[in-house]
């Protein structure tokens, strides 16, 4: 009995000490609010300016010719909500515009996922990431400059990884299919391409790598190529594809449904024409 009493007293004495140690250990760490900003359920007055922090491309991916750029927004929540009415939402919401090598057009991304670009030719490049309001007004921006290594120093690409080659995943699942809607005509008349799509027999999620090929149900994402460019960007949000600033005239948008290891499963092409007046407005 005395032994049991002693052990009980020992617990009651040591428990506060344990709690104090845990609090002290976490005191130096940043809180979730400090990193991510105010919770979306908490309206704010006099919000501080929105800022974007853009990291250099991941070195390992870049050595293989794949550009992966991580970023984060301060004092703004990245969400796929657009329009003038959304400017009144608090805490502030918005998205990013991405420009590659001074192209006249941008793509809008509201996922918060890293920017992933494949197929850029060897040599120097730059990517501009602009933090925008829900109504596409510039708040802040950051640019990264980098050099894509020569293809001769990169790993040899297999036939299954070559552009345009459709690879069917093994297993009992039915083939993955990509369904693309027609462009929104009202937005297109204003010079904005707004494309919705959906995948069948595949979940669009930001999970990558050969190990993810074993995940069931199948997971993957899309690749988007504009006007037969040598490069494309990867999108794993499932949100509509939004392009602004395309020059007047005809354009071709290739959307490829790919598995988690970037191998094409299905694809579709959309042909559009940007009105001259709208292109000049940009």
Pairing outcome for strands 93-100 and 123-133: antiparallel
| pLDDT (0 to 100) of residue 10 | 46
For the chain, domain boundaries? 51-151, 163-281
Tell me how far CA of residue 96 lies from CA of 34, 102, 223, 239, 242, in angstroms: 21, 16, 18, 13, 11
The topology under which CATH files domain 51-151 is Immunoglobulin-like (2.60.40)
| pLDDT (0 to 100) of residue 30 | 80
- As a dihedral over the C-alpha atoms of residue 194, residue 130, residue 55, residue 52, rounded to 10 degrees, the angle is -120
What is the C-alpha radius of gyration for the chain, rounded to an integer number of angstroms?
Answer: 24
Q: By C-alpha distance, which of 161, 183, 186 is closest to 256?
A: 161
Question: Which listed CATH number (2.60.40.10, 3.30.9.10, 1.10.357.10, 1.10.246.90) goes with 163-281?
Answer: 2.60.40.10
Average pLDDT by stretches of 10, the chain with 282 residues: 48 53 62 68 75 97 96 95 91 96 96 97 97 96 96 46 47 91 94 96 96 94 97 97 96 98 97 77 44
Indicate if 163-281 has the same CATH topology as 51-151: yes
| pLDDT (0 to 100) of residue 22 | 54
Sign of the four-CA dihedral 245, 232, 253, 96? negative
Instruction: In whole angstroms, give the CA distance from residue 139 to residue 133.
Output: 7
């Amino acid at each position: 009995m005395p032994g049991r009493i002693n052990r009980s007293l020992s617990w009651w004495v040591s428990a506060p000490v344990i709690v104090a140690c845990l609090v002290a250990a976490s005191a130096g760490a940043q809180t979730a609010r400090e990193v991510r900003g105010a919770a979306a359920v908490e309206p704010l007055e006099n919000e501080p300016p929105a800022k974007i922090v853009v990291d250099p491309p991941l070195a390992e991916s870049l050595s293989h010719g794949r550009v992966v750029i991580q970023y984060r927004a301060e004092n703004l929540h990245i969400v796929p909500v657009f329009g003038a009415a959304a400017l009144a939402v608090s805490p502030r919401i918005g998205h990013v515009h991405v420009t590659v090598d001074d192209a006249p057009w941008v793509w809008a991304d509201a996922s918060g996922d890293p920017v992933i670009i494949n197929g850029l030719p060897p040599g120097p490049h730059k990517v501009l990431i602009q933090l925008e309001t829900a109504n596409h007004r510039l708040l802040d921006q950051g640019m990264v400059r980098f050099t894509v290594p020569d293809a001769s120093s990169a790993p040899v690409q297999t036939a299954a990884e070559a552009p345009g080659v459709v690879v069917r995943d093994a297993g009992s699942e039915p083939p993955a299919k990509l369904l693309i809607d027609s462009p929104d005509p009202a937005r297109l008349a204003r010079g904005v391409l707004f494309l919705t799509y959906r995948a069948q027999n595949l979940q669009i999620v930001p999970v990558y790598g050969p190990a993810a090929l074993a995940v069931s149900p199948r997971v993957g994402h899309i690749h988007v190529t504009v006007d037969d460019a040598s490069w494309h960007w990867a999108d794993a949000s499932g949100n509509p594809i939004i392009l602004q600033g395309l020059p007047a005239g005809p354009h071709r948008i290739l959307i490829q449904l790919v598995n988690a290891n970037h191998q094409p499963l299905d694809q579709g092409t959309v042909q559009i024409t940007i009105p001259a007046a709208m292109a000049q407005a940009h």
